[in-house]
Amino acid sequence: MALEIILTCRLAEIRPLAAGAEVIRQAQIAQVAATDQIAVDTRSRWQAAHTAQVTLEVTARGLAAAAEAQRLQAARFQHGAATTVEVLDVETALANAKAQEAIARYQYLVAWMALGRAVGTVPGKQAR
């Protein structure tokens, strides 16, 4: 009888410990899942920022090419070798290139701000 009482008391002490261990195990699983999600989100944001940077570089080259084409057509027009329509075409292409470059710059800035937010940095603040 005394042995039953001792065993019953010990079981009553062990059950809460087992429940506490289960809570700890579930918390550890949730922590690993959250860490993995943060890593995936950060990698995704870095890739988006890198892609935006490359896109910005490409549009800058396109803008330079359009500006050069416009300069050449303007020179041709001054010498009577180009028509007004040709000049207007390159002017339109230059305006489109400027617009694309502005869009790419905006997307670049947004992507890098999102990356900074994902890694926990404040834009404009330097680490000391």
Query: What tens digit of pLDDT does each residue of 15-66 get?
Result: 665 666 777 788 888 888 888 888 889 999 999 999 999 999 999 999 999 9
pTM for the full predicted model: 0.70
Tokens standing for residue 68: 């050069």
Please tell me the number of Cα atoms within 13 Å of 61 on its side-chain side: 5
Domain ranges within the chain, ordered by starting residue = 2-118
Residue 105, judged by CB atoms within 10 A of its CB (0-12, 13-18, 19+), counts as middle
Q: How many residues in total does the chain contain?
A: 128
* pLDDT band with cut points at 50, 70 and 90 for residue 13: low
